[in-house]
Amino acid sequence: MNLNIDNYIDFYENDIKGRYITNSKILQLLNKYNPKVAGYSVQNNPIYSLSIGTGPIKILIWSQMHGNESTSTKAIFDCLSYLHKIDNTLLSSLKLKIVPILNPDGANAYSRENYNNIDLNRDSVNLSQPESILLRELYNDFKPDFCFNMHDQRTIYSLDNNKSSIISFLAPSADTEKTETEARTKSMSVISYVYTKMNKIIPGNIGRYNDDFNINCVGDSFQSFNTPTILFESGHISQDYQREISRKFVCFSLIYALEFISQNNFSFYKEYYKIPENKTQLCDIKISNIKQKESNKHKITDLSIIYFESLNSSKEIIEFIPEIKEYGNLLNMSGHIEVDFSSINETFDLNNSNIISEIIYHVNKLRNIH
């Protein structure tokens, strides 16, 4: 299949944008697809599900089990638009059950955890939360042939040559020995295909996650129940903090995955092991040659800055607050922005947390942003 990227604008969902994606932000889009209330969150917010397609191969897809990981929710609606507007043949071979926001309380609060501060992706054995119980009930009732577990990864994830990891995948292990079970090799096969396709579009920007087994993670549990499960992680590129670019690549990955599964041939999977593993050698801003104040002298060092993501409730937007992560010899680190402070004569007390605004002032000045 050759997906024409130029046509993305034809199925891109213009009504959903940015990082702060909640039930109320998706309601209009949901209503295009006859949503059902599948259950309720701790705070009694509805958890919606969509049933799409009439085919024999069943795929359960959920996003925002971590409330602040919204990129794949946007990508799912783009993908649904593709399936309805561009290519509806897939809907006769597949039956999709989609939960766009599994953790609506976390989505409202822009938190990873649910309202009880539980990470739902560590609750697969305890099933202590209504959201975890609901997902398990959907799984038991629907009996999927595949599961897609959709997440976002932080800006720190890097690949070879410190290129950004724009999307990542994992075929979770089904046991501590990381056995290539039938279900797991099917997951690997789907990922191999998607990787081969996507690596032509964003070469060197696709990563693979560590496959240590953790039965508390939902993907590992479902894989251990012999249901092929794939973890999708939307990542970061350049200054796209609204993740409108990676959203497109996740959408394409989803469509490729659906196309491949509909063809029902999972013999090829070894390419999976060629996908580079994610490292964490990126920061949001890297500053080199900054003069660090040390009593009455100074020393020249490197500094990394990471944005803390903070919800501005009244504006309903996410703000990116710069914080110092570390300083010292950061030769192996890269930044999504890199700035050389050699020309700045000022010395900075890096132990003073208020110094960050002064540093950002110089960063902006050097980058000609006023």
Q: Is 19 in the site for Zn ion (CB under 5 A)?
A: no
Q: Tell me the closest approach of the beta carbon of residue 69 to Zn ion, in angstroms.
A: 5
Across 159-316, the runs of DSSP E, i.e. the strands, are 167-170, 206-208, 229-234, 282-294, 297-312
Q: Tell me the closest approach of the beta carbon of residue 343 to Zn ion, in angstroms.
A: 40
Nearest residue to 153 (alpha-carbon basis) of 136, 170, 132, 178: 170
Q: Is 95 in the site for Zn ion (CB under 5 A)?
A: no
Residues with Cβ within 8 Å of residue 177, at least 6 apart in sequence: none
Nearer to Zn ion, 66 or 97 (CB): 66
51-70 binders of Zn ion (CB under 5 A): 66, 69
* Coil/strand/helix, residue 61: strand
Q: Is 151 in the site for Zn ion (CB under 5 A)?
A: yes
**340 beta partners:** 288
Q: What is the DSSP string of 111-153?
A: -SS-TTS--GGG-TTT--SHHHHHHHHHHHHH--SEEEEEEE-
Provide Rg for the chain, Cα atoms. Answer: 22
Residue 172 to residue 307: CA distance in whole angstroms: 29
Residues counted in the chain: 370
Q: Tell me the closest approach of the beta carbon of residue 11 to Zn ion, in angstroms.
A: 25
Candidates 125-133, 145-153, 305-313, 356-364: pick the segment binding Zn ion (CB under 5 A): 145-153
Nearer to Zn ion, 93 or 214 (CB): 214
Structure tokens at 218: 């939902």
Nearer to Zn ion, 69 or 302 (CB): 69
Q: Tell me the closest approach of the beta carbon of residue 109 to Zn ion, in angstroms.
A: 15
Q: Tell me the closest approach of the beta carbon of residue 151 to Zn ion, in angstroms.
A: 3
Nearer to Zn ion, 68 or 304 (CB): 68
Structure tokens at 329: 């010899």
Q: Is 243 in the site for Zn ion (CB under 5 A)?
A: no
Q: Is 145 in the site for Zn ion (CB under 5 A)?
A: no
Q: Tell me the closest approach of the beta carbon of residue 70 to Zn ion, in angstroms.
A: 11
Cα maximum dimension of the chain: 74
Candidates 55-63, 143-151, 156-164, 288-296: pick the segment binding Zn ion (CB under 5 A): 143-151
Residues that bind Zn ion (CB under 5 A): 66, 69, 151
